[in-house]
Structure 1
Amino acid sequence: MPGLTGKNVMGALTLLTACAAAPAAAASDPAGRPVFARVFSDHAVLQRDRPITVWGSADPAQQLSVTLGNSTVALRADKTGHWRTRLPAMAAGGPYTLTVSGAGGTTTLADIKLGDVYLCGGQSNMEFPARLSTGSWNGIVAAPNDDMRFLTIAHDSEPAPLDDLKHPAAWQIVAPDTVGDASAVCYYMARSLQKTEKVPIGFIHSSWGGTTIQSWIGAASLRSYKPFEQGVAAVSLMASNPAEAMAREGQKREAWWDAHDPDAAAQRAWIAPGYDDSAWSSMVPAGSWKEAGIPALADFDGVAWFRTTVTLTEAQAKAANRLALGPIDTYDTAWVNGVRVGSGSIAWVWRDYEVPAGAFRAGPNVIVLRVLSGGQGGGLTGQPKVRGIGTADGQFIPIASPWRYKMGMRARGLSIASSPWAVPTSLTTLYNGMIAPLAGYGFKLAAWYQGEANADKAAEYRTLLPLLMRDWRKNFAQPYLPFLVVQLTSYGAVAASPGKSDWAALREAQAQSVAADPHAGLVVTIDVGDRTDIHPSQKAVVGERLARAARAVAYGEPVTPGGPEAVGVVRSGNDLVVRFKNINGGLRTYSANVAIGFEACIADRCSYVPGTIQSDSVVLGGANRPEVTRVRYAWADAPFVNLYSADDLPAAPFELPVPQGS
């Protein structure tokens, strides 16, 4: 499935449904000592050559002083216990200590360095760990470098922006025993830039496999895009009034069921804890219902209901706060003792529903699921051991009883939209939990590696990617923050003839967004994909190409950010001529004396045309027919390409209009 991470493949991704308002920054410690926000720790790297913002929490109205090196500032915490201040800009160097002091004591962070800090975000290909990348043995063994540090942000989905990270975080020095779990692409980019810039480098990795871009945009920006306006409002309601938000979402879902299932109203009686299900059949799901060895389910597509009972002690019921079900294929709604606790709409995502206080009770607890299959296997597709009840004190109480089930209507081709706060297609919640708490930190650049989860909505992405870049720049108070965008690589069906390609259209949306932004750079990866694996392992190559783009866009070095880019098509006699920039010494083809992957298009019909290199151009011989309106290159999910610059960078995929006339 698009966007799965290695952890997802091993069954560790969970669906988080946020059900509470965003917490304030962490309070000072019990002794009253002021503390820093969690993004700060020993070994941190702070951005050089710009004022340094630091923040944290303390007892309300406490008088404080913050010191970094030879600079000290005095301040007072506000009435809620938050504090934030700015230290003077400093040149690259260190190590230093960073301290905050107050009446309750002093917190000291050691081994702080000044250098350049990179923010790396996106989905699973950014999350892909260095230890799994091609050549990782040499890359990690050679890793020890005191001037490279990294911080990985834990997954967190929130309905409102956080002032501080919810989960503990710690900067780590790059070493063989630490960097293996770091973002491979972010590490290889940082490693390359550290060699050339020769200053301390820090990289902060904040990504989540399978997630859509709209999850990573702040609410104020995202609500300006009309299709998401109501969804963002629903997420805001989830922050302020979770019960009301869940009730409204439940009403919408039940209205959908009333419109699509003639038995929906009668079957709602099956949700009640006291309903007698003794006549239902019984099973212990350990895979899809089609694979359960039950003849009636072997070819069944449609709706099935499941009920089971878990007995809790009084202490367990008081502490119980979540329901873990593993993956479900495909659309489900879950109830605990008649209380709706969540819904899911993606088959590979693990359901982990937060349950409101009071829903569980001492004694028998009835769990009810309504599942609509998506045309594949259907049902609770994980292993029984992953299903259980979680508690606030860390217990996991397995669901050991068999599930009773009853088939409902047969149906194929139906789908139900996800709740707007449901990962991985949530609106704004990952920004709230994993980006908003970083505001003020100071970055040299941001690298964005995402798009697989939005590949079927290229037109929408043309709006959302520029919106994300503007949103982060605004919220980080860095209006010219350089953005480096990794273009989708090659994955999926190999085209034997020209045709439609969602992945190609998404690549074009990425390219157009970058071309319209003077502070952005595009990294082309079309030649280092894997058509059978959405997670290609050549991350060192991607990281090196990101570093090159950074040298051009973020550091202003006199290099091109990447390889050949088509800038226009002209008619010339019987031919069409495509001119390129960034040829870096010339164009070349590999394994043939013609360039493959070019297409000339008449309306919606396109034909392959071989190209020959002529200086900075590719000539498409005989392709100049009056009715031709467009030229495309590498327009497929997994195209084969052989056009490169003299310095071995691939030509970027494109679609360009052909002007009318001679």
Structure 2
Amino acid sequence: MRKSIWFLSGIAIAFSTTALATPSLDASYGDHMVLQRGQPILIGGTAAPGAKISGTLGSVTATSTADNAGNFTLTFPARDASAVPITLSVTDGSGTITASDILIGDVWLCSGQSNMEYTLERSDGGALAVQNSADPQLRILAVPKSSIPEPSRNFGKPASWAAASPATVPDFSAACFYMTQQLRAKLGIPIGAVGSYWGGSQIRAWMSSPSATKLYGADQMALLHRYAKNPLDAVTAFAPEWEKWWKGKTGGEPWRNPASIDWQPVPKISPWGEWAGTPLAKNTVGNVLLRHTVDLTKQEASADGTLSIGIIDDGDMTFVNGHPVGDTFSWDSERHYRVPASYLHAGTNEILVVASNSWGEGGFQSPADHLNFVIEGGKTIPLSSGWQFAVAKTSEMPPHSPWDQIAGIGVMHNGMIAPLGPMRFKGGAWYQGESDAGIPGYAGKLSELFAGWRRQFGNQMKMLVVQLPNYGERSDHPVASGWAQIRDDERTAVAADDNAALVSVIDIGRFDELHPPDKLDVGKRLALAAEGEAMPMPTAVRSGEGKIVITFDGIEGGLHAFSGDHPLAVELCGLDQPSCRYATATINGDSLQIADDGKPATRVRYAWSDAPIVNLYDGRGLPVPGFEMKISR
């Protein structure tokens, strides 16, 4: 599917419902759903602009009027939890839509990237969990993946609520399933679980429009909206920023002068890791220039064309005769770029693709026959062979466009959160951050994510954040760590919020496994936090009388250092990284004490590395989260 069509199709769907005679409900509402207890029940949908809407939920009625865009919201009174099914009917006078078998209980939104997406059947014990999953009062809704530049009221593909069963849960989030299953057992009421996640996604992809505008500015949002209307126009506007970055890193502009590059023949249309005998066979991470030419007659060059280069893993910026025609970051979307006739000329036309890969094998992922140049109303010119390549001078990743499929500004919110409408949730569970390691400002982004969810789903939402697990390089000395920084940003955002909890899983991961398969313990800890159990959190670090004291909240049964006489991974730091050193801490009830070693100390860090080894827990066996805190005097 063409990328421009793929993006725009979500918008087309979003507005087509207003033309229908029968009202339409927002994507999250339907048969077998669970609605949130104890909160006004809001039902969103679309109808003809100005239509008078009436609805009945059980035996209670409500009315509304569709606005100028055809959007309406029906508000029903709050209800207590109930496993007795009820029916919703909504009419605008010209037609009626119904949803049946509706329960009332607690509803949770689970979102994030691959560790939240990690499926139940793949998790430790997953086969048995699937086999024993049947529960008519645990309902799930799996949101289809959709990345679009404008908010939609519809999912990218049809999706529906279903009761948990061996037929419905295998591909659902393991962490989310285990959490909500635990809540079902504990509370004895209906539970709804909405899974909306995408592996590899950055947090900015999940931002609401107000939050995205606040963080990234009106200009970037305008460029995103521009892409929705005319992708080529937006690529043309974004290209100077990209080109400036590239020239600064490499000193060259190969799209203007491809003959200046020392080209080699592409061995075959395949991932780079399969290019035996080339440097890319051993190291696929970085940027690679790809070149091809197309010979056109004067008549052929007078027509628009479409350049198809298949899937490029991960990203590409593509030029034709020095003109930017496409910019995509996606490892599963085929590229089809419109090329205006004004960019073409009779004779040899230059195609140059700057392909970027941050992980995995990279390069061409589609069959060779998917690569071609199609002349509008004319012939198809195969591009299945004859490519040349050159490894670029920089391996850094170029700037990402606002419409980037996996890390664009709000693109996943638009396709996977906005369609949930005004539905009320008990809370949200967020497990993400891996893709943001090394990018500053995560704490502020997380706070804005909270704000966006609460604007849409209500201020009652409790936010549960799973701190990143221990993955990456192990170290026997204090180091700087992007993963540790994300963990502390998660802690900071939660500490600043009066209705949030941090769930540490720093002891569950493996240094060589990005996706720890033990999601049962993740789910159990999420359920504890969801129930209101206090989680271990550092609150203050103070020095005086020759010692430094770290105090904690959320500790039950005191602190304990397992398999040793003191906690591991405690550090004292001065102003810079070289000043950091391991320190011996002793436990005193719910606090830690460190003897002042006489060296400069402005900060205390705990578990500050990608894959720390930890042994500090409270009496429930809950680990203390990783953190960095300033020392107060």
What is the CA–CA distance in structure 2 between the aligned matches of 1:296 and 1:21, rounded to whole Å? 37
Aligned residue in 2 for 1:306 = 291
Stretch of structure 1 that moved more, 282-291 or 173-182: 282-291
Aligned residue in 2 for 1:342 = 326
Aligned equivalent of 1:326, options 298, 307, 311 = 311
Shift, 1:367, TM fit:
9.7
Shift, 1:230, TM fit:
3.3
Is the 8 Å Cα contact of residues 578 and 617 (structure 1) preserved in structure 2?
A: yes
What is the CA–CA distance in structure 2 between the aligned matches of 1:213 and 1:18, rounded to whole Å? 19
What is the CA–CA distance in structure 2 between the aligned matches of 1:336 and 1:280, rounded to whole Å? 20
Aligned equivalent of 1:371, options 349, 354, 359 = 354
Is the 8 Å Cα contact of residues 16 and 354 (structure 1) preserved in structure 2?
A: no
What is the CA–CA distance in structure 1 between the aligned matches of 2:356 and 2:13, rounded to whole Å? 40
Is 1:590 matched up with 2:582?
Answer: no
Aligned residue in 2 for 1:159 = 149
| 1:314-356 Cα deviation digits (max 9, x unpaired) | xxxxxx9995623436x5223689985422468xx33433545
Is 1:111 matched up with 2:101?
Answer: yes
Is 1:473 matched up with 2:444?
Answer: no
Within 5 Å, give how 1:412-451 maps onto structure 2. Answer: 412-413=394-395, 415-451=397-433
Aligned residue in 2 for 1:175 = 165
Shift, 1:287, TM fit:
2.5
Aligned residue in 2 for 1:10 = none
Aligned residue in 2 for 1:625 = 598
Is the 8 Å Cα contact of residues 566 and 654 (structure 1) preserved in structure 2?
A: no
What is the CA–CA distance in structure 2 between the aligned matches of 1:535 and 1:378, rounded to whole Å? 19
What is the CA–CA distance in structure 1 between the aligned matches of 2:123 and 2:41, rounded to whole Å? 34
**Cα distance 1:406–1:78, how it changes in 2: closer, same or farther (>3 A)?**
same
Aligned residue in 1 for 2:59 = 70
What is the CA–CA distance in structure 2 between the aligned matches of 1:514 and 1:381, rounded to whole Å? 41
Cα root mean square deviation, aligned: 4.0
Is the 8 Å Cα contact of residues 161 and 432 (structure 1) preserved in structure 2?
A: yes
Corresponding letter in the other structure for 1:533: E
Aligned residue in 1 for 2:584 = 610
Shift, 1:375, TM fit:
9.6
Shift, 1:530, TM fit:
1.5
What is the CA–CA distance in structure 1 between the aligned matches of 2:81 and 2:539, rounded to whole Å? 39
Within 5 Å, give how 1:179-218 maps onto structure 2. Answer: 179-218=169-208
Aligned equivalent of 1:655, options 605, 609, 628 = 628
Aligned residue in 1 for 2:524 = 544
Stretch of structure 1 that moved more, 646-655 or 369-378: 369-378
Stretch of structure 1 that moved more, 632-641 or 85-94: 85-94
What is the CA–CA distance in structure 1 between the aligned matches of 2:282 and 2:97, rounded to whole Å? 62
What is the CA–CA distance in structure 2 between the aligned matches of 1:108 and 1:299, rounded to whole Å? 56
What is the CA–CA distance in structure 2 between the aligned matches of 1:237 and 1:614, rounded to whole Å? 59
Is the 8 Å Cα contact of residues 138 and 192 (structure 2) preserved in structure 1?
A: yes
Aligned equivalent of 1:567, options 516, 537, 540 = 540
| 1:165-185 Cα deviation digits (max 9, x unpaired) | 342110011011211111111
Within 5 Å, give how 1:141-540 maps onto structure 2. Answer: 141-225=131-215, 228-254=217-243, 260=250, 262=252, 264=254, 266-267=256-257, 281=265, 283-288=267-272, 291-293=275-277, 304-307=289-292, 323=308, 325-328=310-313, 332-334=316-318, 340-344=324-328, 349-353=331-335, 355=337, 368-371=351-354, 380-382=363-365, 384=367, 387=370, 402-407=384-389, 411-413=393-395, 415-457=397-439, 459-476=440-457, 478-540=458-520
Is the 8 Å Cα contact of residues 39 and 438 (structure 1) preserved in structure 2?
A: yes
Is the 8 Å Cα contact of residues 287 and 397 (structure 2) preserved in structure 1?
A: no
Shift, 1:34, TM fit:
2.9
Shift, 1:256, TM fit:
5.1
- SS in structure 1 at match of 2:233: helix
Stretch of structure 1 that moved more, 301-310 or 602-611: 301-310
Aligned residue in 2 for 1:101 = 91
What is the CA–CA distance in structure 2 between the aligned matches of 1:437 and 1:131, rounded to whole Å? 27
What is the CA–CA distance in structure 2 between the aligned matches of 1:78 and 1:390, rounded to whole Å? 45
Is the 8 Å Cα contact of residues 569 and 613 (structure 2) preserved in structure 1?
A: yes
**Cα distance 1:146–1:413, how it changes in 2: closer, same or farther (>3 A)?**
closer
Is 1:45 matched up with 2:45?
Answer: no
| 1:136-157 Cα deviation digits (max 9, x unpaired) | 1332222111111011111111
Shift, 1:584, TM fit:
0.5
Aligned residue in 2 for 1:273 = none
Q: Given the two structures, how large is their TM-score scaled by the length of structure 1? A: 0.82
What is the CA–CA distance in structure 2 between the aligned matches of 1:75 and 1:310, rounded to whole Å? 61
**Cα distance 1:107–1:309, how it changes in 2: closer, same or farther (>3 A)?**
farther
| 1:410-434 Cα deviation digits (max 9, x unpaired) | 5234542121111222111111111
Corresponding letter in the other structure for 2:114: S
- SS in structure 2 at match of 1:632: strand
Aligned equivalent of 1:637, options 582, 586, 610 = 610
Is the 8 Å Cα contact of residues 27 and 81 (structure 1) preserved in structure 2?
A: no
Aligned residues: 611
Aligned residue in 2 for 1:140 = 130
Is the 8 Å Cα contact of residues 27 and 59 (structure 1) preserved in structure 2?
A: no
Aligned residue in 1 for 2:302 = none
**Cα distance 1:84–1:164, how it changes in 2: closer, same or farther (>3 A)?**
farther
The runs of 5 or more residues in structure 2 that have no matched partner are 297-304, 375-379
Is the 8 Å Cα contact of residues 149 and 173 (structure 1) preserved in structure 2?
A: yes
Corresponding letter in the other structure for 1:507: R
Stretch of structure 1 that moved more, 244-253 or 534-543: 244-253
What is the CA–CA distance in structure 1 between the aligned matches of 2:358 and 2:109, rounded to whole Å? 39
Query: % of aligned pairs identical?
Result: 32
**Cα distance 1:480–1:254, how it changes in 2: closer, same or farther (>3 A)?**
same
Is the 8 Å Cα contact of residues 16 and 157 (structure 1) preserved in structure 2?
A: no
Is the 8 Å Cα contact of residues 598 and 611 (structure 1) preserved in structure 2?
A: yes
- SS in structure 2 at match of 1:194: helix
**Cα distance 1:508–1:77, how it changes in 2: closer, same or farther (>3 A)?**
closer
What is the CA–CA distance in structure 2 between the aligned matches of 1:55 and 1:367, rounded to whole Å? 50
Shift, 1:383, TM fit:
5.6
| 1:67-103 Cα deviation digits (max 9, x unpaired) | 2110123445455544332222222223111122344
Stretch of structure 1 that moved more, 281-290 or 430-439: 281-290
Stretch of structure 1 that moved more, 535-544 or 30-39: 30-39
Aligned equivalent of 1:88, options 70, 73, 77 = 77
What is the CA–CA distance in structure 1 between the aligned matches of 2:326 and 2:463, rounded to whole Å? 36
What is the CA–CA distance in structure 2 between the aligned matches of 1:25 and 1:383, rounded to whole Å? 30
Is 1:122 matched up with 2:112?
Answer: yes
- SS in structure 2 at match of 1:167: coil
Shift, 1:38, TM fit:
2.2
**Cα distance 1:403–1:97, how it changes in 2: closer, same or farther (>3 A)?**
same
Corresponding letter in the other structure for 1:236: H
Stretch of structure 1 that moved more, 66-75 or 448-457: 66-75
Is the 8 Å Cα contact of residues 264 and 389 (structure 2) preserved in structure 1?
A: no
**Cα distance 1:406–1:282, how it changes in 2: closer, same or farther (>3 A)?**
closer
What is the CA–CA distance in structure 1 between the aligned matches of 2:307 and 2:489, rounded to whole Å? 39
Shift, 1:135, TM fit:
1.7
The runs of 5 or more residues in structure 1 that have no matched partner are 1-13, 271-278, 312-319, 392-397, 553-558
Is the 8 Å Cα contact of residues 223 and 229 (structure 1) preserved in structure 2?
A: yes
**Cα distance 1:584–1:383, how it changes in 2: closer, same or farther (>3 A)?**
same
Shift, 1:567, TM fit:
3.1
What is the CA–CA distance in structure 1 between the aligned matches of 2:272 and 2:603, rounded to whole Å? 46
- SS in structure 1 at match of 2:111: strand
